[in-house]
Structure 1
Amino acid sequence: MKIRLGLLGVADSFEIIQSVIIKYPEIICIPIECLTEEDLIKNVSPLLEEVDMWLCTGPITYKIVQEWKGIEAPVFYVTYTGSTLYKTVLQVLYEQKIEVDEISFDSNASMWEQALQEAGIKTKPRFVESEIISLEGLVQYHFELWKSGQTKAAITGHPIHHELRLLGVPTYRTLPSTMAVEAVLNNILRTYEMLHFKSTQIAVQIIEIDSFVGLIKDTFSTDEIFRIEIKYMEKLLSYTKKVHGSIKSSGFGRYVIFTTRGLLQDITGNFRQIPDIHDFDQASKEAVTCGIGIGQTVYDAEINAGNALLHAKECGKGTWMVCFDDKKIAGPLGKPEQLTYSYISEQLESISQQTSLSVITLNKLKSSLKKLSNDELNANELANYMQITPRSARRILTALEEKGFAQVVAEEKPHTRGRPRKIYKISHF
């Protein structure tokens, strides 16, 4: 097992971190100096496919990476806690002869408070900035406090440390400790093992094909249907080879493909896109409905695939959904708006029995509310998020209203002609 680890941050921290990484033969380190988002675009983007995981030298670099949102692989950072922090604080207090509340910090306030308590210092820091992530903004933050006389020193990281020194601010640099580096490297190893285990999980696809899609009424025969079925089978055989799987027929128009999670995850873009099945035209794609199931055993994966297929059929022909081993459903694949929800809930079972709405429908509604970050919506918004017609959305909202799970809180007039749209507030979800 070899982990290709991209090391991101400032060069003066690389030496400390690499001196620890060298003790881990499983890790191949790729240091990349990055201070800004522009650095990430220029230096990291070309290496995204060549790196398994990423390690930032500190929290500031980590925040910049998170804000960039260009890395999908797991990203870690070296934490600055305990002795690393209070050692720096004590150095400032000793050399500058000042109080803790005369120092400016940039990081998590509770982290600094805990470090000070460990050092036996009861005074809490007054100036701790944890929201600003731009380097220029942090330099300005520390400098203005010092210039106005509110602080007499700053504790920060590179290159802010360097810039403040040039401006005349007494500045001290925090560097990672060996213990902190070892802790994050062990976490990286555990995460990699877990992901590797996940990639070998069983993946089952249950595919249903509607051979009547695209046929002209009254012009087809049994032989024509059989010919179309053979044609689909040939294409599925080619696709099965692509995922290094095996396929079996499970009745007319239904097929089961067995493969692994890792392979399927790769060709679906982490379960976001419908895989490209060779020679399938648009009509063929619309005829294929698929449920993907992930599990520790073939039995579990097949059960989950069946559940995913039921959810896919609810969304209409040509839909692909996936059910993971934790019973969470995701999809439709290939749609800009995807929902992720669990179909096991005693609360939703209870609401289902009272409203006659299926648990699947209620789960989708719950996921839609989570995506909206709001418990108020109209039928058109619900229809858009659940991929259903406005009429079906109104039926759902009316059913909930009748049983007290929703109430009309406002009405809005449409820009064009038509009746006012009711805005519902959903409760008990």
Structure 2
Amino acid sequence: MSSNAEHAYRIGVVGPSDLVSLVKRVAALEFTDHLVVPLTYRGEAQAVDVITAHPDVDALLFTGVIPYTLAQTAGALTKPATFIDYTGATLYGALVQLMSNGHDPSHISIDTLARPLVVESLAHVGIPTGDVATMEYHSGIDAQRLAAFHRQHTRNHPGSVAITCVRSVYELIREDMPTIRLAPAIASVRTALDTLTMELAGRISSDAQVVLGIVELPEPDDHLADDIRALAGSVFPTGSSSYVLVSTRGVLAQHTCDWTVMPLLEQLAERHVWVRIGLGVGRSAADAEVLARRAVERCRTAGPFTAVVSVGAGRDFVITDTEADPDRAEEPLSRHIAARRAGLSQATLRKLEAAVAAHPDNKVTAADVATALGIEPRSARRTLKQLERAGLARPVGTVGSGAGRPAVRYAVRLDT
């Protein structure tokens, strides 16, 4: 990492000149410790050459997913890198512009963005999506193909508006049809800079890995920022009742007692009828974002008050607030639902069932669980905590009267 007396990091911003200037303005106001190095291009295909010509930066921030993907495919990303997200606040801003100009947002065509994210955003504000056309960007798709997609949609839906994330596409179609070019919202730029800064700091220690979180609530919450202070993180609104939070792995692991409890979930459950918190822990900001989106999707099927921490490699920790819904603990549970709530595999649940059945009173200790699963006692204690938070186990006393801390006994209910 290179630095000087005035700046902690040199962040290369890769994109067209107008968007690079936007990032510079945000950084000048809120990230004054960093030096923004403009890496501008006239077309996305020049992104790799621009990066190669400036090896002295500490990290790379791309103004869109296309140049990021091109650089990734070319193997040019040898340092922390991320791109600005165009969903959330950015997309909502375009919809407001669209409707204020008298256009129908239910017949638009949108390029680059994934359809599920577009549909979710439009449905959130009550816009029908049956006639909305999307074309997600994949490696190999160029500006000409994206432009052809918009032209075809306009032929099928005369008067529709094209929304593009790509400057070169905008230049190709703006004379042919009503066109809006998405420009990142200030909140999206801020989030990208914040997550990239966290990732740079995370190179110092694995405990400082970046954590990106998505919080979804049924209504706005003015007190959320105060709650997030306990995570030593930042929170930014991305919609009327959805938020992005940024923290670090070390702080989050401590806050959740190694992924077993979630005080933030409990606090929010006191104020809302449902809560979803998806947290992604990644080595890069882009990885953390992908994991966070997967985690929040999993929340939708795991109960009304749920947090999921995804640490990659298929490992998810599911935390539910059973106290927020006391009737839930009495519901019959199938094994797969029990496994999902506890964040355990069904195979692990089957082994636990055998261990519990071996004790006539259905009461086990961490030592019993460790023996049954072939794991360390510390991991067994964490497993019992997960079962407790899922409403499948409860502490009922201790055993042992000799030296050392008595072992906690848990009454475990895994039957369907």
* Smaller-chain TM-score bracket: 0.3 to 0.5
CA radius of gyration, larger in: 1
